[in-house]
Amino acid sequence: MNENLDMEMQFESLRQLLHADRINEFRETFLEWHLYEQGQFYFSLDQSERLRLYTYLSPKETADMFDVIEEDHEDMKDYLTEMAPRYVADMLSEMYADNAADILHQLDKEDALKYLSLMPSEHVNRIKVLLGYEDKTAGAIMTTEYISIVANQTIRSALTLLRKKASEAEVIYYVYVVDKDNHLAGVLSLRELIINDDDTLISDMMEERVISVDVTEDQEDVAKTIRDYDFLAIPVVNSRKELLGIITVDDIIDVIDDEATSDYSGLAGVDVEATAETPLKASIKRLPWLITLLFLGMSTATLISHYELLINEASILAVFISLITGTAGNAGTQSLAVAVRKLAISDDKDNNFFKLVINEVLTGLITGLVTGVVIFVVVGFWKHNFVLGFVIGIAMLCAITVANLAGSFIPILMEKIGFDPAVASGPFITTLSDLTSVLIYFNIARLFMGFLIEM
């Protein structure tokens, strides 16, 4: 809390320098800040203040800031629009190619082409290569700014090259070794370059077994590989094993964050990142799901009406409808969350298919049994009718077990047919559980009507 207050005070002090046209003092303070802090200050400004800021900072200084801030910020397009086109082009030219490509991906094709036409051809070619890859693949998130060396050179010559090219590379934690045809042949760390003798050949010390990812591989799978091997970067190759680029851990962190947000949005049935939308826009986006669930809910209401005569004969049954459907819905949502998470982190999904479903069914049986026994005792003493308690308990057991089965099986089925399992949202599973719970409840109650009809 104190840190936030201190930062706000610094922002206000810097904002005053901005308004007072004290350029030198502003630049001295602003450029001493971490790039992330610069970005947060930038986001805190209104349009008129940002326009003034552009006159204070060079395109290179703005590019450094944009390289570390969130590239998919919802207002990024508006930020570029308020800058002069030449300023934008110069800024994008100074950015790492992968970050520049991420920004251009968010723009209309016409705007992207306008900025590209103002940029030097060497930068345009690098960016166009990245723009050509399918979204959410290794190619789309890789950077082409890396350092490669050949196997028959010495450490001395490799270090000379490294000093020369380091400023152009996004990271230099690893140095990749290629042959004359640019095929990936090995890798070594910066540490190994530093601690070994200058006359040692690269071929004598490089690691020939290189973990790499294909340029078409899904970004989520790339994230798992980097997580499993604890890499800071990973090379990207094509089908001919030619080195095309690298993916750095900072980009993978963004991928993990995006995937987590996507999964949570799917589970909730709403875009959780749309925090700045107007109530009207938010309503328009949420209504299709709600209307769909409304019609599914109507089927539950229709099913209840089908048992109207049963309820008339034993009206006490109506008291426990919401209790059973609500508990089953909660259990189904829990099972859904576990299934989606296990599918997200599992590398061997085929073998885990039956294991996951069986585990969730057994979990449903255990939780349903305990819950059923509890409600059996409570209802038995409350209504002085242990037959009614038994009906509610058995219905609870069956409803929770079926809900767990649905919550685990449906996301697996959706993944099998090529859909994101997180789309099997919590509201959908809850509504589906309502339908099955009602069906289970009243069919069990019908078997014991002779004991309930006097209630």
Measured in degrees and rounded to the nearest 5, phi and psi for residue 329 equal -60, -40
Distance CA 242, CA 236 (A): 8
What are the tens digits of pLDDT across the range 244-255?
999 998 888 888
What pLDDT was estimated at residue 76? 82
Query: Is residue 140 a contact partner of residue 255, using CB atoms and an 8 Å limit?
Result: no
pLDDT at 244: 95
Residue with tokens 């944009």: 66
**Residue 117: predicted pLDDT:** 94
Q: How far apart are CA 197 and CA 208, in angstroms?
A: 19
pLDDT of residue 205: 92
Sheet with 184-189, strands from edge to edge, namely 148-150, 174-178, 184-189
Distance of CA 420 to the CA centre of its chain: 12
- Residues of the chain with pLDDT below 70 are 1-5, 70-74, 259-278, 282, 285-286, 289, 344-352, 418-426, 451-455
Predicted local confidence at residue 266, as pLDDT: 56
Please work out, in degrees rounded to the nearest 5, the angle formed at the alpha carbon of residue 405 by the alpha carbons of 403 and 408: 105
CB under 8 A, 24+ apart: contacts of 381-390: 383/316, 383/455, 385/451, 385/452, 385/455, 387/448, 387/451, 387/452, 388/316, 388/451, 388/452, 388/455, 390/448
- pLDDT reported for residue 252: 87
pLDDT at 371 (0 to 100): 94
Backbone dihedral angles phi then psi of residue 390, each to the nearest 5 degrees? -65, -45
- In the numeric block, which tokens belong to residue 197? 């003798």
Q: What is the pTM of this model?
A: 0.65
Identify the CA nearest to 99 among candidates 269, 266, 245, 300. 245
3-state secondary structure of 149: strand
Q: What angle do CA 336, 340, 342 make, to 5 degrees?
A: 115
Task: List domains and CATH numbers for the chain.
Answer: 2-141 (1.25.60.10), 148-256 (3.10.580.10), 279-452 (1.10.357.20)
